[in-house]
Amino acid sequence: MERREFLTTAGAITLGTMLPPACRTAHGAKLGKIGIQLYTVRDQMKADFEGTLARIAQIGYKEVEFAGYFDRAPADVRSILERNGLTAPATHMMSDNPDGWKKAVDLAKAVGHDYLVAPWIPEEKRKTLDGWKRVAEEFNRVGQTARDAGIQFAYHNHDFEFVPKMEGRIPFDVLLENTDPKLVQLEIDLYWITKGGEDPLAYFARWPGRVPLVHVKDSMGGPEHKMVDVGQGKIEWRRIFAKREQAGIKHFFVEHDQPPQPFDDITTSYTYLKNLEF
């Protein structure tokens, strides 16, 4: 099931003090908290919403990013998170119209999220550079609506933002150049940008402080770029995380689109990241 289909099915469209993102040790820096994008365990969430969140907390995750609430009311979601010692700084939601985006903002605020993330751009909107510019205008409007509600809007990339080039331009660059960084921040998916042939560090340097969120998932490398648990692939995590302050990263969300053994896989990724020094 593709993400946009899952979000629709899950009903995401219609409807304290934070630990530092990294801490210093005698040997280097380590992540101070690790989160997970719940799309990774979407089937488990559907079958047992609270039980899945409890297992995630038992593994050691401190933060979650939602991709649908499975008909739970905001108050119920907040209560379940609190019982399990979890926070949910971000959520993924989509809409194709201003009313839908307003409802998404209202829902995100009711649940208590700090970030509302758009995870997808429909194919029909991204066929030309002018189409990308119109998406940028839409995102600026949504970003202002979110800002007025005290929430930060952000966009999550795949690889289609980087290939193919259009008129010699990378579409992602056109999107970023035509959006206000204060209204539209970034959740860079470190797997997809790698698959798209780009270096995330180049974007950290070009847009410092604009990347408060990242998706952490690994690749076995080209040309297939098989997705694997974090630490089992070829992405250079130390190199990337060393630039976290330049990027402005506050939240690190593990994700795996099709994990063979979801709870085992997210445990493997968590253990690797917990022990990683950079």
pLDDT digits (tens, 9 = 90+) for 225-255: 999 999 999 999 999 999 999 999 999 999 9
Q: Which two tokens stand for residue 241?
A: 């995380």
214: helix, strand or coil: strand
Q: CATH homologous superfamily for 3-275?
A: Divalent-metal-dependent TIM barrel enzymes (3.20.20.150)
What's the pLDDT tens digit per position in 75-125? 999 999 999 999 999 999 999 999 999 999 999 999 999 999 999 999 999
Query: pTM score, two decimals?
Result: 0.92
* Residue ranges in the chain whose pLDDT is less than 50: 8-9, 11-19
Q: Residues 190-213, buried b or exposed e (16+ Cβ, 10 A)?
A: bbbbbbbebebeebbeebeebbbb
Q: Which residue has the tokens 């003090």?
A: 17
Distances, alpha carbon 98 to alpha carbons 10, 94, 140, 141, 154, in Å: 20, 11, 12, 8, 16
